[in-house]
Chains A and B, each alone.
Chain A
Amino acid sequence: MATQQTRSLARFMMAPSVVLLFVWMIVPLVITIWFSFQQYNPLNPIRDGFVGFSNYALFYSNPAFLQSILNTLILVISVLLITVIGGILLALLIDQPMWGQGIVRILVISPFFVMPPVAALVWKNMIMHPQYGVFADIARFFGAQPIDWFGQHPMTAIIIIVAWQWLPFATLILLTALQSLDGEQKEAAEMDGAGFISRFIYLTLPHMSRAITVVILIQTIFLLSVYAEILVTTNGGPGYASTNLPFLVYQKALLEFKIGQASAGGVIAVILANIVAFFAMRAVGKNLDK
């Protein structure tokens, strides 16, 4: 029974959070939308003014645009596939009875706590460097030609790095879900003679489905805006080969000072994120009712 007084108090207590987040969300977004219809170049202000949709047209006709959308999607989908499948397998493995399970968990979760620039630089220099990297050492050991990862396969290299960062997250969430599986159910299924595979398909997988959904949605939010990993490894290159949408917008805004086009790209990024968010919110919202 909330009285009038507690109700207004509740409103008062919520106000700072709500106001801050509202301002933080609306003000910059409105400015971005406004700029996306303007010609604005801080270095060359002669032709500044309203230009309608031409920024969107320019951004769209830029060959880098389609490439960057494609790269964004390739990155998100590849990393999701690797981390979800790998995460399920790893969670199943770690869930087995073994010696030193706690330490195994700690080792597996560790990459998640490594800040993105460190992760990217370590992989770039010490693991994937075509001359001095560990991969090159391994290749030479087997008499093969070391691969120039960032020159020839920049997207693959970035996918490997980002997947390494997110595999621990997927594993941890899926392992948590797996461990909440009722032991008696498993036992009953075993008594009925269900093999490992059928137990997995009919019992474990349905039980983990919600956790898998959550992993996919949350990772997608973060993977849509991968930035530091690209900045410190390939810088988007060679050419636009490893430029994703966030990186293209950054290049347009802070390197080329084409603010209008960058803002148009930003608006497109918002739309893309909203499509994902729509599904994410529904999944999380469902959980709230329970």
Chain B
Amino acid sequence: MARAVTTQHKTIATVAAWIVALLIFFPILYTIITSFKSEQEAIQGFALIPSGTFESYAEVQAQSGYFKFFFNSVLLSVGSTVLALLVAIPAAWSMAFSPTKRTKDILMWMLSTKMMPAVAVLFPIYLIFRDTGLLDSRIGLMVMLMLINLPIVVWMLYTYFREIPGEILEAARMDGASLWNEIVYVLTPMAVPGIASTMLLNIILAWNEAFWTIRLTTTEAAPLTAFISSFSSPQGLFWAKLSAASTLAIAPILIMGWFSQKQLVRGLTFGAVK
């Protein structure tokens, strides 16, 4: 920079940014604090220091079997992401390395399926799920989440694969590498970081999906989104328990999210902003 940044400027920026950041983070922070309060404490008015009890966490598990929902969330988000990767990797690979005139059209068309409002197909999907016995089944929901995120997965992988220099593949082919060897020994090592990033972002998206996961489940396959939504009925004031359940529901994904800021930008802007 032409002029040195003054300490005063830096101090003002620091104070202002920290105040705004803490205000934005406050609802999450307050949820975590409240989760360590007792139910009486939770409604006694504003207090930032909890008594530090873990009873809400114990009660959430005891009353509702929290970990069943947690397990479903893990299974659905990881399972749907793996399924999506299995389908998307070959597609993205071929579009990145043997593009044709229609590649761009296919990519745009895939993106367009993402724009269909879920609610428009709610009843048909509900019927299909009911008639095939997939309602409230983990497999059905896993396929559903896979389909929802498939366009994003293909797109993200495509933008990563496109950055792998094609000459390397040419060289491998010249050396007589078979297609299988080409994929296993040349492409995979270079593609792993992109695949990992894609996986991370899509686990986050699947974990937080809150339309199909709520509407297509009742008890067996219900993940955390459905579990938390069940707290909306006003049966009394269970804020400490609600906070404990919420904290458990968002903590793993919050931490993963912090590590995936860059992938988030890339994945959700379809490579338009890097």
Contacts and interface: CB of A to CB of B under 8 A. Distances in A.
Interface stretch (B59-67, B132-140, B206-214): B206-214
Contacts of A274: 115
B237 A250 contact: no
A210 interface: yes
Contacts of A249: 119-120, 122
B185 to A, nearest CB: 18
B94 A98 contact: no
Contacts of B174: none
A203 B171 CA distance: 44
A65 interface: no
B214 A231 contact: yes
Given A104-B17, A287-B271, A35 B123 contact: yes
B120 A106 contact: no
B14 A98 contact: yes
Contact of B242 (A18, A96, A121): A121
Given A104-B21, A254-B126, A232 B250 contact: no
Given A183-B1, A214-B272, A287-B272, A29 B120 contact: yes
A94 interface: yes
B195 interface: no
B111 to A, nearest CB: 7
Nearest to A169: B268
Contact of A285 (B28, B108, B151): B108
Given A17-B110, A21-B150, A126-B27, A250 B122 contact: yes
A108 B272 CA distance: 22
A31 B264 CA distance: 34
Interface stretch (B49-57, B186-194, B226-234): B226-234
Contacts of A69: none
Given A125-B239, A254-B215, A232 B45 contact: no
A149 to B, nearest CB: 14
A273 interface: yes
B246 A118 contact: yes
A18 B106 contact: yes
A256 B159 CA distance: 45
A270 interface: yes
B87 interface: yes
B268 A32 contact: no
A113 B111 contact: no
A82 interface: no
Contacts of A228: 210-211, 214, 225, 229
B235 interface: no
Contacts of B272: 210-211, 214, 283-284, 287
Contact of B119 (A24, A115, A167, A266): A266
B121 A266 contact: yes
B150 A20 contact: yes
A107 B254 CA distance: 10
Which label, helix, strand, loop or mixed, suits the secondary structure of the A interface?
helix
Which label, helix, strand, loop or mixed, suits the secondary structure of the B interface?
helix
Given A32-B120, A98-B14, A104-B17, A115 B87 contact: no
B31 interface: yes
Given A6-B98, A253-B122, A221 B250 contact: no
A132 B43 contact: yes
A225 B91 contact: no
Contacts, number: 311
B27 A273 contact: no
A96 B204 CA distance: 29
A202 to B, nearest CB: 18
A285 B128 CA distance: 34
Contacts of B184: none
A115 to B, nearest CB: 4
Contacts of B271: 287
A21 B153 CA distance: 12
A268 to B, nearest CB: 9
A124 B239 CA distance: 11
Contacts of A227: 118-119, 210-211
Nearest to A103: B21
6 contacts: A118-B228, A119-B27, A137-B45, A187-B1, A231-B214, A266-B119
Interface of A: 2, 6-7, 9-11, 13-14, 16-18, 20-21, 24-25, 27-29, 31-32, 35, 90, 93-94, 96-101, 103-127, 132, 134, 137-138, 164, 167-169, 172-173, 176-177, 180, 183, 187, 190-191, 210-211, 214, 218, 221, 224-225, 227-228, 231-233, 235, 245-246, 249-250, 253-254, 259, 262-263, 265-267, 269-270, 272-274, 276-277, 280-281, 283-285, 287-288
Interface of B: 1-3, 5, 9-10, 13-14, 16-18, 20-22, 24-25, 27-28, 30-31, 34, 43, 45-46, 87-88, 90-91, 93-95, 98, 100, 104, 106-108, 110-128, 147, 150-151, 154, 179, 204, 207-208, 210-211, 214-215, 224-225, 228-229, 231-232, 237, 239, 242-243, 246, 249-250, 253-254, 256-258, 261-262, 264-265, 268-274
